[in-house]
Amino acid sequence: MACLREIEASQGKGQIVSSETLAALAGVKPTQLRKDLAYFGEFGRRGLGYDASELAFEIKRILKIDRIVPMILIGMGSLGTAFARFIITRANLEKDYPFRIQAIFDKDPHKTGTEFMGVRIYHIDDLKHMIQTLNPIIAVVAVPSQVSEPIIAFLCDHEVKAILNFAAPPTKIKPTKTIIHNVDLGAELEFLSYYT
């Protein structure tokens, strides 16, 4: 599936767009775009094209961002702060932005009990009894790699659907029900260096 996100933002209400136009915007071939969409259903009308707002809605539904996605953030170091700022700013700016940070967890007593841009910061120990109530779909792990593995294991045990992990990939656990997406800043640099 080639990048469909670009499409969403690109047209107003009631507008009809062709796969040709959309493909140009997304930087892919029209035929690829049509094939990708057809995989999920028939969203277009032959001879006409796609209804832009209808298509945007369908794409949101496919990506499961047609609803509020409750999240928790664990670790409020510089990376956690950067991530929280990014998400909360966007949620404040964009109507219907789906991702919401419900609670932040950290170990530092200088941070716990305070708020960051309107989101409460709890002690990491409170996660144990709060996770049931919060019931987050996604958890973001931005703690040091040395302490990340037990936290990730705990999250997997408690039915979190997906983890965005900025720490080192866990070595011991191989969860079946939880998807872990590892983001490795160091690897991004090595990747770039190769193409230098």
Partner DNA sequence: TAGATTGTTAATCGATTAACAATC
Residues engaged in binding its own copies (CB under 8 A)? 5, 62-65, 69, 77-79, 81-83, 85-87, 90, 98-99, 137-138, 161-162, 164, 179, 181, 183, 185-196
List beta partners, residue 162.
138, 179
Question: CA angle 131-134-138, nearest 5°?
Answer: 85
Which of DNA, its own copies, none has residue 85 at its interface (CB below 5 to 8 Å by kind)?
its own copies
Tell me how far apart the alpha carbons of residues 179 and 160 are, in angstroms, rounded to a whole number.
9
For CA atoms 19, 22, 100, 154, give the dihedral sign: positive
Least distance to DNA from the beta carbon of 91, Å?
A: 32
Q: Which does 45 bind (CB under 5 to 8 A by kind): its own copies, DNA, none?
A: DNA
Beta bridge partners of 118: none
Q: Which is closer to its own copies, CB of 14 or CB of 185?
A: 185
Which residues, 6+ apart, have CB-to-CB distance to 176 below 8 Å?
none
User: Does the CA dihedral 87-91-96-100 come out positive or negative?
Assistant: positive
Q: Which does 20 bind (CB under 5 to 8 A by kind): DNA, its own copies, none?
A: DNA
Shortest CB 71 distance to its own copies, Å:
8
We find the least distance from the C-beta atom of residue 185 to its own copies, in angstroms, to be 5
Could you tell me how many residues make up the chain?
Answer: 196
Tokens 């298509």, residue?
Answer: 55
What is the rounded distance in angstroms from the CA atom of residue 142 to the CA atom of residue 93?
24
Nearer to its own copies, 45 or 90 (CB): 90
Q: How far is CA 123 from CA 42, 76, 96, 108, in A?
A: 48, 11, 30, 8
CB of 19 to DNA, least distance (A): 4
Q: Which does 194 bind (CB under 5 to 8 A by kind): its own copies, DNA, none?
A: its own copies
Residues that bind DNA (CB under 7 A): 2, 18-20, 28-32, 34-35, 37-38, 42-50
| Distance in Å, CB of 183 to DNA, minimum | 21
28's contact among its own copies, DNA, none, with CB below 5 to 8 A by partner kind, is DNA
